[in-house]
Structure 1
């Protein structure tokens, strides 16, 4: 049984960076990818806080990118062969939505990272998500599309209310 969320995190971050790519060369692409991966990691750890949750999504599957592709206007099926499409089955719509919300709302990102301290994923290891919660000017330029609130609004709004409810003060995450 898979209790590691790395396939889901990798695929969802890949979807975000393809939908909202960096501009400016290899460094910008790398910085954009790091920010997407940090946001997706935080979102995935909040969405699947226990090894049992991770195992269940590994068995059932996260759902894929079809609805996200439709919402953003990308027709993935039109330009994907079978090998390129396989990773898209590991994209998690809720995690992508939560990550989009975190990328566009610094206060929400701070609350989400703080909430991780209560969960089992970061237990015993100090985990920092600096590029998510405190991006510098270079990070912002590299991920201008990825952090643009208007562009990400259709994706972020899908499940943002669930994330906000989860992060309400006084509500404990399952550890």
Structure 2
């Protein structure tokens, strides 16, 4: 990575895990978290590919989870402790939407990881994203909600077109 995207990756993965939790205990939680983090990492690196992009993110901020919470119905009662939800300010809506697309559509996940390989040695090897690209039966069971296309459709649909355009930069612009 060119610079540190870890706060956005951690917060956005956490949001996905809370919105679409694992089922089946501690191992399922760990497997689901690994898949969410891999998808969010790919999405964040695609969204912010240069140091300048990350610097602008640092200045402007990622936007927070308010719209995502509203879409998924998670915008309920706030905690008594206002600091308990401070992490939500680091959630990036576009990254969450792209990660949802990658988790539910293998036809997008492969090209997304391949696009990172073009980014140079810091981009990461495809083996780093095995749980995203080739989930086994345990991965699929653990992340049944997170990978369910119908359940995550409202989030994935938010920025699906932008992800497709990002993965196909040779596409002609239409005025």
TM-score, normalised on structure 2? 0.91
Matches within 5 A, 1:105-144: 105-120=105-120, 122-123=122-123, 125-127=124-126, 128-144=128-144
Q: How far has the Cα of 1:55 moved from its partner? A: 1.5
What root-mean-square deviation, in Å, do the aligned CA atoms of Structure 1 and Structure 2 show? 1.8
**1:2-48: CA deviations, max 9, x gaps?**
93100000000000000000010000000000000000000000000
Counterpart Cα distance in 1 of 2:142 and 2:101: 18
Aligned length: 169
Match of 1:165 in 2: 165
Matches within 5 A, 1:13-162: 13-79=13-79, 81-120=81-120, 122-123=122-123, 125-127=124-126, 128-162=128-162
**1:56-102: CA deviations, max 9, x gaps?**
10121000000000000012553463121110000000000000000
Give the secondary-structure state (helix, strand or coil) at the position aligned to 2:122.
coil
Counterpart Cα distance in 2 of 1:64 and 1:80: 19
After superposing the two structures, state which structure 1 stretch, 29-38 or 54-63, moved more. 54-63
Counterpart Cα distance in 1 of 2:89 and 2:106: 29
Q: How far has the Cα of 1:121 moved from its partner? A: 7.1
Contact 2:79 2:85 in 1 (8 A): no
Ranges in structure 2 where 5+ consecutive residues have no aligned partner: none
TM-score, normalised on structure 1? 0.91
Ranges in structure 1 where 5+ consecutive residues have no aligned partner: none
**1:115-159: CA deviations, max 9, x gaps?**
001125735x53520000100000000000000000000000000
After superposing the two structures, state which structure 1 stretch, 22-31 or 79-88, moved more. 79-88
